[in-house]
Amino acid sequence: MPWTKIQADDSRGRVRFGGGERPERELSYREAIREALSQAIETDDRVFLIGEGIDDPGGVFGTTAGLRERFGAGRVMDSPIAENGMTGVAIGAAMTGMRPVFIHMRVDFLPMCMDQIINHAAKWSYMTGGRVKVPLTIRAVIGRGWGSAAQHSQSLQALFAHIPGLKVVMPASPYDAKGLLLGSIAGDGPTVVIEHRWLYDQKEGVPEGPYVIHAGKGAIRREGTDVTIAATSYMVYEALRAASELEGEGISAEVVDIRSVQPLDEGLIVGSVKKTGRLIVADTGWKVCGVSAEVAAVASEYAHDALKAPVKRICLPAAPTPASVSLEKAYYPGIEAIVRAAKGMV
Amino acid sequence: MRNDLSKDALKRLYAVMLTIRRFEERVVSLYPEQEMKCPVHLCIGQEAIAAGVCAHLGTEDYIFSTHRSHGHCIAKGMDLKPIAAELYGRSDGCSRGRGGSMHLADPEHGIPGTSAIVGGCIPLAVGAGLSSVMQGHARVSVAFFGDGAADEGTFHESLNFASLKKLPVVFVCEDNYYATNSPRSARQPDIPIAEKGRGYAIPGITVDGNDVLLVHQAAEEAVMRARSGGGPTLLEFTTYRWKAHVGPNSDIDEGCRPAGAHERWLKKCPLEMFQRYLLEHAAVSAEELERISVRVDREIDEAVVFGKNSPYPDASELTEYV
Ligand SMILES: Cc1ncc(C[n+]2csc(CCOP(=O)(O)OP(=O)(O)O)c2C)c(N)n1
Ligand SMILES: [Mg+2]
């Protein structure tokens, strides 16, 4: 079991976020992912990558570029455009000794595989009384902008997070992208790793060797005392920008990077809310029945007495993604919405 | 009928078929006690397919199955006790009471599991075939599924990929002409399911699934092809389900399937046909068959006692194994 030798970083936020003063070399988010995949293939014979066009020169936003040349088509495998069936193939391989990583250019293609993910991957351990595990990693890309419109820019983390038996992580930083991806590949169950297209060029210091971060741990990215902003993925950056602006106005915001949507780091969120007494949740997805609803519910259940104001949620409105740039602008909330919400609470 | 099988092999085939039949009949007789608190999809009338196919598989080979899986699991060598305990929802069940009749599993006997989502297991079997190739062992992976599953996208996606990569997979369609109460003629154009293999460059053959020796022969070729790197085969075995789609009763009075056809198929009982063959052409004596029968009944008795005596899983372990 090669993974047991690999160091786990289960601290919450050991790493300074957003690069800067780290001694190690810097990597972009895309490079961190590519390095994680290479190291997984090198570390463990059971690991293989599969997905539509993952051996293209472009290599899924650069995250798989060159890997087929390096490891061969047996480990880095192009796939027919048959998402549900191929998810089943990956699951069948996973339950018989392999550790596949199924890579999707867009999360929007995953509704094609919901049967295999929900009814099979997520259920198998339980249905077999724990006798058969499905160590499957599914990488899915979310994103926004450039008129990608309704079928190429959704943010479907809540769909997966709803399902017991699935883990869902959303790395926001290069360090997390590498660690969470390796943690998922090393794990025993199915994990959906959701990456944001706008993060691929983010850079920060990333250790050269392999390390794993297990799902279930959030991270405090900035400490504060007046309001907690709990954010997912790209929204972490909007939250950090909002926190800087709020600081100028005398409001001290704490930014929690949710990192793991399922399991959710309830303790970290509750602890922060108990300290600040206020909660804003900023998610890349829809508001209704979304991740923000779950986070708000956690605060209400476990930190109710500490809350000095109603929870605010900064999410997408209940509409599919529009194409026109003017509508896109109206669709995506960001720093202004977060700042406004915070000012209204404090 | 062929006669190149040893007497022992023939008797083993018979014992497997009889075990499946008697086990299912025991479920029928015990079900009204309401102690097996899960839906049961019985395969009485279809036993020859499970027996004839699994005769070619070793413990390490894989099978994947469906909601109607008792026969496949028995034929693959699974012990009856954990099956019975699972039907009773007990902690000694093969799935520790988490699966029930529709989710039997036994990885130690090459049964990674069964899915009650129609068509759900077919790609899993292909994945196990891929795994087998990647790990460099010659394990064959068999997907059992019904004619209904051939309506599903997973069936086609699976044939496509298995053929593309020449995987050691045998697709075994048990064509009993119905998916619940819906006849195949209402769901598919009128061509044999085996012919759908042609579109994917997979050899396909339609065989009388009630004749265990024909099943055995067709499966032998398919398993050999898979094991020797020749890629997948699509076997369609025609057969008929005697009981209702689900539950222990007959559905003959419900009028969904024509009574005439039912009568005809009852006359084509796979077990009786094989028994007659053994007595008349294989020099197996009535006493030998009787000895098998006694042994099978005893094993089932023991399995039922084991199942009923096994404790229920404790409520405190509700969320274990998630
Ligand atoms: C995806 C899906 N759709 C519908 C059902 C309901 N259902 C259960 S069994 C069945 C019929 C299956 O027919 P077939 O594949 O021919 O198998 P058989 O029952 O005849 O053995 C249906 C429609 C289901 N379980 N899964
Ligand atoms: Mg059928």
Which ligand 1 atom is nearest residue B174's CA? 21
- Are the C-beta atoms of B227 and B168 separated by less than 8 Å? yes
Chain A contacts in chain B segment 135-164 (CB below 8 A): 135, 141, 153-154, 156-158, 160-161, 164
User: What pLDDT, in 10s, does the model give residues B164-200?
Assistant: 999 999 999 999 999 999 999 999 999 999 999 999 9
Residues 6+ apart with CB under 8 A from A254: A220, A222, A223, A224, A225, A227, A228, A229, A243, A272, A275, A276
In the block, residue with structure tokens 């850079």: A203
Q: B4 falls in which pLDDT band (50, 70, 90)?
A: confident
Q: A116 falls in which pLDDT band (50, 70, 90)?
A: very high
* Mean pLDDT rounded to a whole number for chain A: 94
Which helix H or strand E contains A225, and what residues bound it?
none
What letters, b where the CB count within 10 A reaches 16 and e where it falls short, cover B70-96? bbbbbbbbbbbbbbbbbbbbbbbbbbb
Chain B residues within 8 A of A48 when measuring between CB atoms: 134
User: What pLDDT, in 10s, does the model give residues A39-73?
Assistant: 999 999 999 999 999 999 999 999 999 999 999 99
pLDDT higher at A17 or A142: A142
Q: A24 falls in which pLDDT band (50, 70, 90)?
A: confident
Amino acid identity, position A152? H
Residue B132 near chain A (CB below 8 Å):
yes
- Are the C-beta atoms of A105 and A96 separated by less than 8 Å? no
Residue B195 near chain A (CB below 8 Å):
no
Ligand closest to B119 (CA) is 1
Please report the pLDDT score of residue A20 as a whole number: 47
Ligand closest to A114 (CA) is 1
**Interchain pair A92, B95: CB under 8 A:** no
A134, pLDDT greater than 80:
yes
CATH, domain B7-308, list 1.10.274.10, 3.40.190.290, 3.40.50.970, 3.30.360.10: 3.40.50.970
Mean pLDDT value across residues B226-230: 98
Structure tokens at A305: 């007495």
In the block, residue with structure tokens 């790209």: A234
User: What pLDDT, in 10s, does the model give residues B267-317?
Assistant: 999 999 999 999 999 899 999 999 999 999 999 999 999 999 999 999 999
Q: Which among A82, A90, A124 has CB closest to B157?
A: A82
**Interchain pair A164, B322: CB under 8 A:** yes
Which ligand 1 atom is nearest residue B245's CA? 19
User: What pLDDT, in 10s, does the model give residues A70-81?
Assistant: 999 999 999 999
- Are the C-beta atoms of A205 and A22 separated by less than 8 Å? yes
A/B interface, count of CB pairs below 8 Å? 143
A3, pLDDT greater than 90:
no
User: What pLDDT, in 10s, does the model give residues A143-201?
Assistant: 999 999 999 999 999 999 999 999 999 999 999 999 999 999 999 999 999 999 999 99
CA of B118 to the centre of ligand 1 (A): 5
Query: What 3 state SS string does A250-268 have?
Result: CCCEEEEECCEEECCCHHH
Residues 6+ apart with CB under 8 A from A235: A282, A283, A284, A314
Please report the pLDDT score of residue A260 as a whole number: 98
- Say how far apart CA B177 and CA B282 lie, in whole Å: 32
- Say how far apart CA B13 and CA A227 lie, in whole Å: 72
Q: A2 falls in which pLDDT band (50, 70, 90)?
A: confident
User: What pLDDT, in 10s, does the model give residues A241-281?
Assistant: 999 999 999 999 999 999 999 999 999 999 999 999 999 99
Secondary structure class of B235 (helix, strand, coil): strand
Chain B residues within 8 A of A215 when measuring between CB atoms: none
**Nearest residue in chain A measured CA to CA from B103:** A127
In short, whether B173's Cβ falls inside 6 Å of ligand 1 is: no
Q: Transcribe B20-86 into DSSP letters.
A: HHHHHHHHHHHGGGS-S-S-----TT-HHHHHHHHTT--TTSEEEE-SS-HHHHHHTT--HHHHHHH
Residue B319's CB: how many other CB atoms inside 10 A? 8
Cα–Cα separations (whole angstroms), residue A323 to A121, A150, A175, A327, A331 = 34, 7, 32, 7, 10
Domains of chain A as residue ranges with CATH: 24-212 (3.40.50.970), 219-345 (3.40.50.920)
Q: Give the residue extent of every domain in chain B.
A: 7-308
**Interchain pair B93, A96: CB under 8 A:** no
CA angle B306, B312, B313 (to 5 degrees): 125
Secondary structure class of B134 (helix, strand, coil): helix
Q: Which among A89, A115, A132 has CB closest to B161?
A: A89
- Say how far apart CA A184 and CA A138 lie, in whole Å: 9
Helices within chain A (DSSP H only): 29-43, 59-62, 67-71, 83-95, 114, 124-127, 157-161, 174-186, 235-248, 266-276, 291-302, 325-331, 335-345
Ligand closest to B145 (CA) is 1
A304 is known as an active-site residue: no
pTM of structure: 0.96
A22, pLDDT greater than 80:
no
- Are the C-beta atoms of B220 and B190 separated by less than 8 Å? no
- Say how far apart CA A226 and CA B233 lie, in whole Å: 66
Chain A residues within 8 A of B157 when measuring between CB atoms: 80, 82, 84-86, 88
Please report the pLDDT score of residue A109 as a whole number: 97
Chain B residues within 8 A of A124 when measuring between CB atoms: 113
Residue whose C-alpha is closest to residue A191's, from A122, A127, A124, A116: A122
CA of B243 to the centre of ligand 1 (A): 15
Question: What is the ipTM, given to two decimal places?
Answer: 0.97
Q: Which among B115, B123, B321 has CB closest to A126?
A: B321
Mean pLDDT value across residues B29-33: 98
Q: Which among A93, A119, A164 has CB closest to B120?
A: A119
Annotated active-site residue in A104, A152, A196, A214 = A152
Which ligand 1 atom is nearest residue B68's CA? 21
Mean pLDDT value across residues B53-79: 98
